[in-house]
Structure formats: C-alpha cells, structure tokens
Structure 1
Amino acid sequence: MAEVSLEVEAPIDAVWAVLADGWSYAGWVVGASHIRDVDAGWPKQGVRIHHSVGPWPFTIEDVTEVVRCEPNRLLELDARLWPAGAARITFTLTARSESLTEVHMAERVVRGPSTLMPNVVQDALLTPRNRETLQRLNALAKGRASG
C-alpha cells in the first residue's frame, strides 16, 4: 500500500471543502484530466465522479465512487481506470491546529491486471504521484482558506 502524508497549511474545513467538491478533482488528482460529470450528493457513499484520465486525445473515461465518507475526517474512494483495474484510496484528515491539517493518503490496487505487480513496484509508481497529489490539494486548500 502506497502511503503518504502532508501537513496542509489550511484549516480542516478548507481541506474538506476541496475533497467535497467533485468538480475540483481534476485540479488536484494527478492523472485526472477532465471531469465529465459529478453525481448529485457528492461525496456521499455510492456517489460518483465521471472523469477522464490521461492526455488528450488518448484519454480513458471512467468513474470514481465514494465507498465511505465521514465529513472533515475521512473520504474513501474506489477509483477505476479501465483496463488497468481499480484502486482503493483513503484520505484521512487530522487537525493539527486551527490552520494546519495533516492529510494522510493511502492507495492500494484492488482489481485488475495491476494487482499482478509486486507491492514494491506498485508503491514505487504510486508514491511520487500521491505526493504530488497532496501538494496540489495543499495549494487549493490554502487558496480556499485565504479567499
């Protein structure tokens, strides 16, 4: 399981606001290139973001579905990317102060051909991507907090 953490320079409400805005997904998730639709009720359990992944014109259209949601604390997603498979991604938020939030991101491949890769290879591929994802989340949350 690829796990990364970052102390985000924003209050927990600002970080959650980014996670709870399905339309912002392509702005902070590395690889997501376009949001086609967000089901009403995001981020409630069972609700989906319909996204495209990859550079145009070679995009793949798929969905990410909420598995579990505890506002201001936890968001667990089932992120699909056919034909590679799907990953379970969990974001856990912990307030460190009024203006600092620790975000922990854990990702593991759960379905598809990517499960055949050894865990060490999966981690080597996912960890740098997930670090950048948290840096982008940090930037958006800081912007929401200051605006």
Structure 2
Amino acid sequence: MAHVEIMVQASAEDTFAVLADGWSFASWVVGATHIRDVDPSWPAEGTQLHYRVGVWPFTMDDITQVSAVDAPRLLELEARLRPFGSAWIRLELTETAPGRTRIRMYEHTKRGPGTWVPDVLQELLLMPRNRESLSRLADIVVGRSHDAADGGQDISHI
C-alpha cells in the first residue's frame, strides 16, 4: 500500500496535539470545508467528527470516526462519504530526533463503489491530495509550536 510522508520540525506530542484538535480538521484535510461538531472525547476510539465536504453549493454532510488511537504515535480513521462509501486512513508519527517528527499517511477505500477502483489508480488519485493535506498539517504544527515558544500570539492589537 502506498503512503505519503513529510518531516515536521516539532515533537510527536506537538504534532499529535493538532490531530487531537478535531476543530482543526478542515484546516488541513483537503476537501473538508466545515466542521459541524466534534465529539467531546475526540480522538478516543469510536468518537466522531461531523463535517461538510465539497464546494458550495455542492456540499455534503458526513462523519469521520476513530478506529484506533495510540497517542502520540498513531491515529486510524474511517472517513465516510455517503452514498459513495468510506475510506480507511492511518496517520503514523515517528519522532526521528528530538523535535523532528515523520508523519506517514496511508489511505485506501474501505467500503462502497470506490473499492472497484484498482489500487494503483486509487493511489494516483489520492497521493497528491494526501501530500497537500500533510503539507497543511505540517504548517499548522510548526505554527502552533512557534506560537507556544513565543508564549502565544497576542492579537488584541489587531
């Protein structure tokens, strides 16, 4: 199974903290446009994000559910997009040096008509989207790390 990966200048804990913030999901996941609700104990196993995907006015509401979690190393999800089925997504975090983390993302169709698409074609379609998602995630992680190092960002003067 193909994967995409990126290195980020932050600890695995800081990186996982962004994944654990369900309200930030639409900021880094390509295609998600609006978070409608996040279960209070996200990302505990079985909890869900409720979101909207698509481009207005062609949007759909759906959910992503946590299948497995091992903070700060692993988050496994099932992202649904009814009526098209669902996708299995796995995010692995490996701290390769202090303050440096490799994020690997795996994805494949789990249910629905997408399972009829050959794996090679799925990979060709998903890899660019997932690379962009990881790039956005890395930017958020680094931005939050810098804000924390600066003692938080004061925007009261803006």
TM-score above 0.5: yes
- Give the CA deviation at 1:40: 1.1
* C-alpha separation in 2, matches of 1:97 and 1:142: 16
Helix, strand or coil for the counterpart of 2:90? strand
Q: Which runs of 5+ in 1 are unaligned?
A: none
CA distance in structure 1 between the partners assigned to 2:40 and 2:121 by the alignment? 36
Q: CA deviation at 1:35?
A: 0.3
1:38 and 2:69 equivalent?
A: no
Deviation at 1:90, TM superposition (A): 0.3
Matched with 1:92 is: 92
1:107 aligns to what? 107
Looking at structure 2, the residues matched to 82 and 124 of structure 1 have their Cα atoms a distance apart, in angstroms, of 22
CA distance in 2, matches of 1:104, 1:38: 24
- The Cα offsets for residues 110-147 of structure 1, whole Å up to 9 and x where unpaired, read as 10011111111110100000000100000000011111
Instruction: Work out the CA distance in 2 between the residues paired with 1:4 and 1:67.
Output: 20
Q: Quote the RMSD (CA, aligned, Å).
A: 0.8
Normalised by the length of structure 2, the TM-score is 0.91
Residue 93 (structure 1) shift:
0.4
Instruction: Normalising by structure 1, report the TM-score.
Output: 0.97
Match of 2:140 in 1: 140
Runs of 4+ in 1 over 4 A off after TM superposition: none
What secondary structure sits across from 2:58 in the alignment?
Answer: coil
**Which gives a bigger RCO, structure 1 or 2 (Cα 8 Å, sep 6+)?**
1
Give the gaps of 5 or more residues in structure 2: 148-158
Q: Offset of 1:63 from its aligned partner?
A: 0.2
The residue number in structure 2 matching 1:53 is 53
Q: CA deviation at 1:74?
A: 0.2
Deviations 1:5-33, CA, capped at 9 Å, x for gaps: 11112121211111000000000001000
Alignment length (residue pairs):
147
Percent identity at matched positions?
A: 50
Match of 1:125 in 2: 125
Q: Deviations over 1:22-59 (max 9, x none)?
A: 00000000100000000110000000000100111111
**Paired position in structure 2 for 1:83:** 83
